Amino acid sequence: MNTETVIHPSAVVEAGAEIGAGVRIGPFCHIGPDVRIKDNVELFGHVSVMGGTTIGEGCKVYPMAILGAPPQNGKHKGGKTTLDIGANCTIREGVTMHTGTDTSRGHTAIGANGNFLAYAHIAHDCVVGNNVTFANGATLGGHVEIGNNVNIGGLTAVHQFVRIGDNAFIGGCSAVVGDVIPYAIAVGNRASLRGLNIIGLKRSGLERSDIHTLRRAYRFIFDRSHTIAENVDKARVEFADSPTAMKIIEFMSSRGKRHYAMPPLKAVVDDDTDDA
């Protein structure tokens, strides 16, 4: 592996910045004094990295991306906050990721192996898991939490403070204003649940029996003849032997009262037509 660091003569790297081995910084990049760039990162040109930003090993950042800009939050008082980006992320053209807010978490965290397509935006104080894909123009408001293996379609906006669970799939051009449970598909403005992400579950290697159990749990939890709270309490007993079903149940009961994306009122619950 190449350990030589190459910085184009037109790039500006301010004193105090920490640059790892094998880093390549292309033309007209600007690196601020509090930035840490770990080994084998490549900035292709016209990239701006500012604030207390750390870029993990092996990331590739394309032109016009801006990483570590101050939060777009009127409550921010100007204190030092941070942005951490995990290893091996691909950050395409025009992507923006902001640092945290000094009156809140103070930290924005991006996991490893993410794929952030052109003009995606991650706002202040967000927490994003590993192996995510944000299609072009996908946007997070502040304080959003995204689990592992989540896919967010192009031009989709996620409202501030919303949570999206592991292995969920959010369709393009959606407006997500409520929490999306793990393993679910959500689509629309405002986004509603359209069943489970069966294709994603199969690709993840989940056994057929576990998928069928998840489907039963999904129907059980969203049975309209009882309240969601009642269903979740009963599901905790009914599906105690299923770690995958319990992941949904714990997600729905771990943060007190929350607004959730729900199946459409007249829709068949779990209407995914793919045969598990």
User: Which residues are known to be catalytic?
Assistant: 124-125, 142
d(CA 67, CA 111) in angstroms, rounded, equals 15
Residues 85 and 55: beta-carbon distance below 8 Å? yes
H runs (alpha helix) in the chain: 198-203, 208-221, 228-238, 243-253
HSE, side-chain direction, 13 A CA sphere, residue 167:
22
Q: Give kind and range of the element (H or E) at residue 73.
A: none
d(CA 200, CA 121) in angstroms, rounded, equals 24
Pairing of strands 151-152, 169-170: parallel
Nearest to 153 by CA among 165, 164, 166, 137: 137
